[in-house]
Amino acid sequence: QVQLVQSGAGVKKPGASVKVSCKASGYSFTGYDINWVRQAPGQGLEWMGWMSPNSGNTDYAQKFQGRVTLTRNSSISTAYMELSSLRSEDTAVYYCARWAVVSDALDIWGQGTMVTVSS
């Protein structure tokens, strides 16, 4: 079935970086953009950016410009989100999600990756 499977939870120290992976299966990886959305504990959803697995083109939310990098390895159908200079406010669940052009919506989501930033 169509699914996105993300890497496991982690704890990072302030100032460090984290790289979360998102492996796609059940569909053509290069046919759909991958978006990243995060959710701080008890809070709402916040869009971080998207990447085209086909071209490598990216678009980042201004809030994360300079700190977030979206990449992919198409040979293994995996997208990555790397966030640097972590601070406590970055503690959140990070989701990857597939953008469906036919519906202009995020139709498939990964299970989420909890990243805790703590000294």
Partner 1 sequence: DIQMTQSPSSLSASVGDRVTITCRTSQYISNYLDWYQQQPGKAPNLLIFAASSLQSGVPSRFSGSGSGTDFTLTISSLQPEDFATYYCQQSYSTPWTFGQGTKVEIK
Q: 37 or 117: whose CB is closer to partner 1?
A: 37
Instruction: Give me the sheet containing 68-73, strands edge to edge.
Output: 3-6, 18-25, 78-83, 68-73
What lies within 8 Å, CB to CB, of 21 at 6+ separation is 6, 7, 78, 79, 80
Interatomic CA distance for residues 78 and 85, integer angstroms: 23
Start-end of H helices in 7-59: none
Find the binder of partner 1 among 5, 26, 57, 59 (CB under 8 A).
59
Which x/- pattern over 74-93 shows residues binding partner 1 (rule: CB under 8 A)? --------------------
Does 10 engage in binding with partner 1 (CB under 8 A)? Answer: no
Distance CA 12, CA 88 (A): 9
95 in contact with partner 1 (CB under 8 A): yes
Q: How many residues bind partner 1 (CB under 8 A)?
A: 22
Comparing CB distances to partner 1, the nearer of 80 and 95 is 95
Non-local (6+) Cβ contacts of 65 within 8 A are: none
Q: How far is the CB of 95 from partner 1 (least distance, A)?
A: 6
Residue (15 or 26) nearer to partner 1, CB:
26
Exposure on the CB side of residue 83, measured as CA atoms within 13 A: 28
Q: Is residue 50 close enough to count as binding partner 1 by CB under 8 A?
A: yes
Binding site for partner 1 (CB under 8 A): 35, 37, 44-47, 50, 59, 61-62, 95, 97, 100, 103-107, 109-112
